[in-house]
Amino acid sequence: MNDKRPDLPYEKAAEETAKTIGKGFDLVSRAAPAIGDAYDFLIGDRIKEQRVRNADKMARETKRILDERNLKETAALPEDLATPLLEAAQREPREEILKLYAALAANAMDPNRDDVRPEYVETVRKWQPKDVRVMGFARDRRNTNTPYFGVGDVVKVAPDLRNYAVEVSINNLMELKCLRLQAQQHGYVLTPYGSEIMLAVSDQP
């Protein structure tokens, strides 16, 4: 009896892409089958294929970031970071979030950087695309003379966002300790944790 698991569509392509960006992503070849096998009775082939494509997109974006930095060598991803990154990326179809995972991976592999913590993966996993926009606004606002902001300030620069949607986003980011309310200033501001995670998810060197 042949117990060898047949290759999933797109899996070989994902593995080849992963191998080009370091040993840390060799886990792709183990994580994708393991996760797929665990859910064989719950999900169909299309979902398994989508997961592999998602991981491949992140791997390609990670490679792009590293290539642009012209690094002589890269560090291997530690398993306590590589494993949650790959598992989160496989379940994430939204490119805004996948790019954040890719930046986390690239910065962790950049020997000139030391600002990526494993818990950042779980925080990003709980972000929505609106949260990414609010965090970007908070980061930019921090570098001005008025680092504190309110819901209305966000809506002024992003009129496509509803007031309540921004408020829900801010509440979520406060729960994640990315933002805090400064009552005396009547506004919100990045926390130290929020500042650090924004550096960690940046694709800039």
> Within this chain, do residues 84 and 160 fall inside the same structural domain, yes or no?
no
The lowest-confidence range among 30-34, 68-72, 122-126 is 30-34
**The pLDDT value given to residue 126:** 97
> Within this chain, do residues 114 and 133 fall inside the same structural domain, yes or no?
no
**The pLDDT value given to residue 78:** 86
> Within this chain, do residues 73 and 112 fall inside the same structural domain, yes or no?
yes
Residues 148-204: tens digit of each pLDDT: 999 999 999 999 999 999 999 999 999 999 999 987 878 999 999 999 999 999 999
Is the Cβ–Cβ distance between 99 and 203 less than 8 Å?
Answer: yes
Domain count, the chain: 2
- DSSP notation for 33-76: HHHHHHTTTTS-HHHHHHHHHHHHHHHHHHHHHHHHHT-S--PP
pLDDT (average), residues 6-30: 50
Per-residue burial over 36-47, b if 16 or more Cβ lie within 10 Å, else e, is beeeeeeeeeee
Residues 24-45: tens digit of each pLDDT: 555 444 544 554 455 554 555 6
**The pLDDT value given to residue 186:** 81
* pLDDT reading at 94 higher than 70: yes
* pLDDT reading at 82 higher than 60: yes
What's the whole-number average pLDDT of the chain?
Answer: 84
**The pLDDT value given to residue 7:** 47
Residues near 1 by beta carbon (within 8 Å), at least 6 away in sequence:
none
d(CA 107, CA 91) in angstroms, rounded, equals 21
Would residue 4 count as lying in a domain?
A: no
CA atoms within a 13 Å half-sphere pointing along the CA-CB vector of 197 = 26
Would residue 3 count as lying in a domain?
A: no
Nearest to 201 by CA among 101, 62, 110: 101
The CATH number assigned to the domain holding 179 equals: 1.10.10.10
Where a domain ends, among 118, 138, 163? Answer: 118
Q: Quote the strand ranges of the chain, DSSP E.
A: 179-182, 187-190
Where a domain ends, among 69, 93, 118? Answer: 118
pLDDT (average), residues 84-96: 92
Where a domain ends, among 96, 118, 140? Answer: 118
> Within this chain, do residues 106 and 15 fall inside the same structural domain, yes or no?
yes
pLDDT category at 5 given cuts 50, 70, 90 is very low
pLDDT (average), residues 71-97: 91
Residues 44-61: tens digit of each pLDDT: 567 778 888 998 999 999
Nearest to 120 by CA among 178, 190, 167: 178
d(CA 205, CA 199) in angstroms, rounded, equals 10
Q: Which domain holds residue 186?
A: 129-200
